[in-house]
Structure 1
Amino acid sequence: IVFAHYGPVWRQQRKFSHSTLRHFGLGKLSLEPKIIEEFRYVKEEIQKHGEAPFNPFPIVNNAVSNIICSLCFGRRFDYTNSEFKKMLNFMSRALEICLNTQLLLVNICSWLYYLPFGPFKELRQIEKDLTIFLKKIIKDHRESLDVENPQDFIDMYLLHVEEEKKNNSNSGFDEDYLFYIIGDLFIAGTDTTTNSLLWCLLYMSLHPNIQEKVHEEIARVIGAERAPSLTDKARMPYTEATIMEVQRLSTVVPLSIPHMTSEKTGEDPAIWEKPNDFYPDRFLDDQGQLLKKETFIPFGIGKRVCMGEQLAKMELFLMFVSLMQSFTVLQEGPAVSVNQ
C-alpha cells in the first residue's frame, strides 16, 4: 500500500486497510488510552537515566512501534522482549541497507538483488528473518481466530481473505499481501513518527525559550497531574504550532526514490517569512489562534496521501505533550545552533 503500483488491487488493499485501522481506533479517541499507556513506559525508561545525557531514539522507537503492534497484533511488547527487539533491529537495519547507493541500482537492474555478497545478500537474509517472524504471528492469529470477535488488523484481514475466497476467485487478498502490508505499516508508521518526535526534542533543546512557552501552556491547560487528551488540542494552539513548525523544517521520511523538487516547498521565502528560522508563531494569528495554511502539507496530498496521517497526529500531540509535561530537554555540553 506504500510502494505498490497504482491499480485495482492497490485501491482495494488501501481501502480495506484504512477502514480496518479506523475500526480499531485510527483517528478516534478510543486509541488515546493505548498511547497514554505507552507513554508511562517511556517515562519509566527515561527516569532511569536521571539527569545524565542519553540517546532517546531506542525508547521513542519502542513506544511508537508498540502503537503499531497494538493495532496489527492486538498486543504490546515489553521493551526487553527478545522477539520484539529482534524485529525492530531487522527493520532498522533493512532501512539502513536500502539507503546504500548500491541498493538503489536494484530499481534499474533487478537481477542485482540476487548477488551473493555485500548489502544484497544481507538484505535478502533480513527479509527471510522478518518473513519467519511475521509468518509465525499470522499463523498464531489464524489458529486463535474468533470469527465473532476479531481483535486486530490481522484478524480482520484473515476473515476478509476467507470471505473473498467464497465470493471472488480473482481476489487480490491473500496472506502474502498481508505480510507486505504489515511491513509497510511498520516501516512507514514507525520511523516517520519516531523521527518527528526526536526532531521535536532537538528543537526544544535548541530553543529553550520556545520550550518554556510550551511548558507554560501545558501547565495552564492540563496541569502537572492529569494525562493529556486529544480534547485539549483546541486549547493549546502554541504547542500545536510548535509541532507544525518542526514538521515544516524537518525531514522525517527515511528514504525515497532519488529526486528533487523543481521549486522550493517548505522553505520558500515567498510563502514563509524567514523560512530557515524556527518560529512557531508563523502558524498563529494575531489572537494567538491556530492558522490553517494550505501550503503546509507534511502528509502529502492526492491518492497517495499518507494513510496514517490521523494516527501520526495523535501520537505526535499526545507523546510530545506528555514528554514536555514531565521533562525539560537540555543540550549536552556547550550550546550549538541548529545549523551545526
Structure 2
Amino acid sequence: MACAGLAGWSWPLRDPVCCALLAAAGLLLGLYWLLSRPPRGLPPGPSPWPLVGNFGFALLPGPLRKRWLLSERAGQGGSRPLAPHLLLTGMAKVYGSVFCLFVGSRPMIVLSDFEAVREALVSQAEVFSDRPSIPIVAMLTKKKGVVFAPYGPIWRQQRKFSHSTLRHFGLGKHSLEPKIIEELKYVKEEMLRYGKDPFNPFPIISNSVSNVICSMAFGRRFDYEDIEFKTMLSLMSRALEISVNSHVFLVNICPWLYYLPFGPFRELRQIEFDVTAFLKKIIAQHRDTLNRENPRDFIDMYLLQVEEERKSNSESSFNEDYLFFIIGDLFIAGTDTTTNTLLWCLLYMSLHPEVQEKVHAEIEVVTGRDRAPSLTDKAHMPFTEATIMEVQRMTVVVPLSVPRMASATAVLRGYTIPKGSVIVPNLWSVHRDPNIWERPDDFQPTRFLDENGQLIKREMFIPFGIGKRVCMGEQLAKMELFLMFVNLMQNFTFLYPDNATKPAMEGRFGLTLAPYPFNIIALKR
C-alpha cells in the first residue's frame, strides 16, 4: 500500500508539462529569493521571511517572540503584549544599538543609543529628515501639514510660516503666560469639585491643554462642558490608540483594509469624518468673519497669507486644504503630547510623595501659595524643573519619535543604509541607557542636579527629538508644562487612593505613550 501511495504521488514527475511548470515555479522562487535578498552592508538583525519580512513581531525568533506574545507583567486586564518600544529596546541587547528589521522588502533601521540618533538626525540631517510613506498616515494626512509631510521646500515654507505665526501669538513669549494661568483657574475649579474623592484627571488636563492651543489657533477657548469639544478630544485620543494598537495597523500592509465596513476600520473612518467636520467648520467661520486689518489668530493669519500668495503665485502651497492639515497637527499633536506628560507628572507625584514634598517646599520659597507662577521663576526652581525632566525621561511620550526616511543611500556607524529605508529613533532606549543614566529605571529627579542643587542640561535628554524635524511645539510645551505643573502643585497635594491598584508604568502605547487610566485625589493646600 505504501508503494502504491508513493507511485500515485510520483506520476506528475513523468508528465512533461507538469515538470515544466514545476521547473518554472522553482526558477521564479529562486529569482525572487535572489532579487529580494537584503543588500550588503546592512546593520544586523533577524532574518526576514519572504514577502512579509519581519512584519508581526510574532515572526521574530526564540525568546524575543515569547516576550512579544506574553507580557512580562500582568496588567489590569490580564496579560498584554510587550509594547513596541520595549520590544525594540530588548532587541538592541541582542543585535546592537543599530539594527535592521524588514517591513516586506523595505529595511527599517532602529537607532537605540544617543550617538547613533545624533549622527543620523543632526550630523546627516539632510539625508535623514524625510518621512516614509506609511499608508495609514498618508490616508489620514494626505502627506500635508507639518508633522508628517515629506521633507522639502514646501515643508520648509509651511513650517517657517507656522512657527513665526505662533510666535506672533505668544509661542515662547511671556505674553502667553496670562492665557495659560487663566486656563488653570478652570482646572482648579474642576478639581475642587471632587473634594476628597478620587477622580480621573484626564478630561480636565486634556481640556486645559487643548484650550491653550485653541486660543492661539482658533482665537477662542471651549467650555469644559462643551459636548462637541469633549467629543473631539476623546475621538483624537481614541484614533491615536487604534491606529497602532488594533487591526487598523494592517492597513500599512493592505491599504484596502481601511475601507472595510466594520470593526476599528469603520471606527477610524468615522473619527476622521467627525474631526474633519469640526475643524473645517471652524475654518469656514473664520473665513466668513475675517477682518484683514485685525487678524485674531493663526487661522486668520494663514487665510491672509493664502490671499497674498494667490496674487503673485498661482502654484503656491498655501491654501485652505493645507491649512486644515496644519490645524489638525496643532490641535491633535499639541494636545495629546502635553496632556500625557502632565498626566504622567500627576501620577508620579502621587506615587512618590517624598518628591512631591520637595516640590511643594521649593514653590513655597519662590512663589508662596498666592502669587501665580511665572516663567521667570524657572531659574529659581531647579528641583521642580528637574522633576518635570525626570518624568519626561522616564515616560518619553513619543517613545519611537516620528519615523524618518533615508532620502539617499548613506553610511551610518559603518553600515550601509539604502535609500528609502525607514529610520526609527528609539528615544525610550536612549533615555533608559544604563551607559548614560545611573539606575535608569529608578525615578530620581536629582540626576538632573549638580552637587550645588543647580540644574544640569544633559545633551542626551531629547524628549522632543533633535535635528531639523525637532518638535515645532517644544517651546510651547515647555511653557505649559512648567506653568501648569507648578500651579497644580501650588494648589494641591496629589494622593493615590489607598485601595486602588497601581497602574502598569510602562504605559499604553499609541502614537504617544499615555498612562493607563488612573484616579487620584487632589487635596487643597
Q: TM-score, normalised by structure 2?
A: 0.62
Per the alignment, residue 2 of structure 1 pairs with: 147
Could you give the per-residue CA deviations for residues 193-249 of structure 1, whole angstroms, max 9, x where no partner exists?
011111111111111111000000000000010000001000000000000000000
SS at 2:450's partner residue? coil
Deviation of 1:136 after TM superposition, in Å, equals: 1.2
Aligned with residue 87 of structure 1, among 229, 232, 237:
232
Whole-angstrom distance in 2 between the partners of 1:310 and 1:177:
23
Contact map agreement 1:79 1:85 (CA 8 A) in 2: yes
Per the alignment, residue 127 of structure 1 pairs with: 272
Deviation of 1:254 after TM superposition, in Å, equals: 8.5
Per the alignment, residue 297 of structure 1 pairs with: 462
Whole-angstrom distance in 2 between the partners of 1:335 and 1:220:
33
Per the alignment, residue 483 of structure 2 pairs with: 318
Contact map agreement 2:396 2:428 (CA 8 A) in 1: no
2:281 pairs with 1:281: no
2:320 pairs with 1:175: yes
Whole-angstrom distance in 2 between the partners of 1:249 and 1:302:
22
Larger radius of gyration: 2
Contact map agreement 1:191 1:252 (CA 8 A) in 2: no
SS at 2:429's partner residue? coil
Deviation of 1:263 after TM superposition, in Å, equals: 9.6
Contact map agreement 1:197 1:320 (CA 8 A) in 2: yes
Whole-angstrom distance in 1 between the partners of 2:311 and 2:215:
29
Deviation of 1:5 after TM superposition, in Å, equals: 1.3
Work out the percentage of aligned pairs sharing the same amino acid: 71
SS at 2:480's partner residue? helix
Aligned with residue 201 of structure 2, among 56, 77, 88:
56
Aligned with residue 110 of structure 1, among 245, 252, 255:
255
Instruction: Tell me which protein shows more helix as a share of its residues.
Output: 1
Name the amino acid aligned to 1:75. Answer: R
Q: Please, which moves more after superposition, 87-96 or 159-168?
A: 87-96
SS at 1:329's partner residue? strand
SS at 2:490's partner residue? helix
Name the amino acid aligned to 2:290. Answer: L
SS at 1:265's partner residue? helix
Written as runs of structure 1 = structure 2, the 5 A alignment for 1:72-221 is 72-221=217-366
Contact map agreement 2:427 2:462 (CA 8 A) in 1: no
Are residues 331 and 123 of structure 1, via their aligned partners in 2, closer, same or farther at CA, if it must alter by over 3 Å? same
Q: Please, which moves more after superposition, 182-191 or 211-220?
A: 182-191
Whole-angstrom distance in 1 between the partners of 2:196 and 2:471:
37
SS at 1:190's partner residue? helix
Deviation of 1:153 after TM superposition, in Å, equals: 0.5
Contact map agreement 1:215 1:324 (CA 8 A) in 2: yes
Deviation of 1:64 after TM superposition, in Å, equals: 0.4
Contact map agreement 1:27 1:311 (CA 8 A) in 2: yes
Are residues 120 and 26 of structure 1, via their aligned partners in 2, closer, same or farther at CA, if it must alter by over 3 Å? same
Whole-angstrom distance in 1 between the partners of 2:264 and 2:481:
33
Deviation of 1:58 after TM superposition, in Å, equals: 0.6
Q: TM-score, normalised by structure 1?
A: 0.95
Aligned with residue 175 of structure 2, among 17, 27, 30:
30
Name the amino acid aligned to 2:320. Answer: E
Whole-angstrom distance in 1 between the partners of 2:243 and 2:428:
27
Whole-angstrom distance in 1 between the partners of 2:278 and 2:292:
24
Are residues 261 and 253 of structure 1, via their aligned partners in 2, closer, same or farther at CA, if it must alter by over 3 Å? closer
Could you give the per-residue CA deviations for residues 58-89 of structure 1, whole angstroms, max 9, x where no partner exists?
10000001011101110101101122122223
Q: Please, which moves more after superposition, 158-167 or 255-264?
A: 255-264
Name the amino acid aligned to 1:326. Answer: N
Whole-angstrom distance in 1 between the partners of 2:327 and 2:187:
24
Whole-angstrom distance in 1 between the partners of 2:480 and 2:428:
31
Cα RMSD over matched residues?
Answer: 2.0
Per the alignment, residue 508 of structure 2 pairs with: none
Deviation of 1:129 after TM superposition, in Å, equals: 1.6
Could you give the per-residue CA deviations for residues 71-127 of structure 1, whole angstroms, max 9, x where no partner exists?
111010110112212222322222232123322222233222222222222211221
Deviation of 1:37 after TM superposition, in Å, equals: 0.4
Whole-angstrom distance in 1 between the partners of 2:313 and 2:255:
32
Gapped regions of structure 1 (runs ≥ 5): none
Q: Please, which moves more after superposition, 128-137 or 322-331?
A: 128-137
Whole-angstrom distance in 1 between the partners of 2:503 and 2:249:
30
Whole-angstrom distance in 1 between the partners of 2:333 and 2:398:
8
Deviation of 1:292 after TM superposition, in Å, equals: 0.7
Could you give the per-residue CA deviations for residues 288-334 of structure 1, whole angstroms, max 9, x where no partner exists?
11111111111111111000000000000000000100000111115
